[in-house]
Amino acid sequence: MTVIEDLVLRVAAKARATSTTLPPAATAEEVTSAEAALGFALPPLLASLYREVANGGYGPEYQLLPLVGPGRTVLSDYRSERSSSAEGETPHWPAGVLPILDWGCGMYAAVDCHSETAAVLLFEPNAIVDDGAAAWFVDAGSLAEWLETWLAGTGWYRENAYEDEDVADLHPWDMAASRITERP
């Protein structure tokens, strides 16, 4: 069993234990169709989560958005953010960065699908003043690391996390400015 397979199994177990009703997993065809619509591939771990665990509905706090389906999805939110970024005065959403979880108040956890490690980023729109890049922070160096934090219950988002000295401070995403101006 690979490290990724083990992680997916542990995520599935926690998802089943913490969610009252999980949606069915996305089919391989739905994942392939979403990738075609996006114009880029999902990181293998993210694709496995949607195919093998569920089409969203589990994870930290507000839970992963569904990849596809009716209503609000990863695909629809990505398109919406990219569109508003292109049309707005201050571009703010990079190509290839998928919103996977809505923290509320316009904040997202997002996966950099162009990163080898599938870094997880935090989008905090209240940080935008004159530069959309100011809204981006590194939450975890990889999707695997982010999931391990959720599994261990040590994420910055948990109640009273600010009292824990082991919780790392989020730092700005250095590549934000160059990635925002990148064309898909």
Place of tokens 């953010």: 81
Structure tokens of 111?
């996966």
| Cα distance between residue 184 and residue 181, in whole Å | 10
pLDDT at 93: 94
pLDDT value for 58: 95
Q: What range does the domain containing 108 cover?
A: 3-154+163-180
Q: How many domains does the chain have?
A: 1
pTM of the predicted structure, to 2 decimals: 0.92
Strand partners, 108: 102, 123
CATH code, domain with 80? 3.40.1580.10
* Cβ atoms < 10 Å from Cβ of 161: 13
In sequence order, the β-bridge partners of residue 110 are 99, 121
Residue the block writes with tokens 């970024």: 85
How confident is the model at residue 83, as a pLDDT? 92
Looking only at the bridges linking them, the beta strands covering 120-123 and 136-140 are antiparallel
Q: Which portions of the chain are predicted below pLDDT 70?
A: 158-168, 183-184
What 3-state class would DSSP assign to 44? helix
- CA 132 – CA 135 distance, rounded (Å): 6
Altogether, the residues listed in the chain come to a count of: 184
- pLDDT tens figures, 36-89: 999 999 999 999 999 999 999 999 988 999 999 999 999 999 999 999 888 888
Instruction: Report pLDDT for 161.
Output: 47
Question: The tokens of 86 are what?
Answer: 């292109």
Pairing mode, strands 171-172 and 120-123: unpaired
Q: Tokens 């089943």 — which residue?
A: 16
Q: Are 96 and 179 in contact (CB under 8 A)?
A: yes
Give the separation between CA 51 and CA 61, rounded to whole angstroms. 21
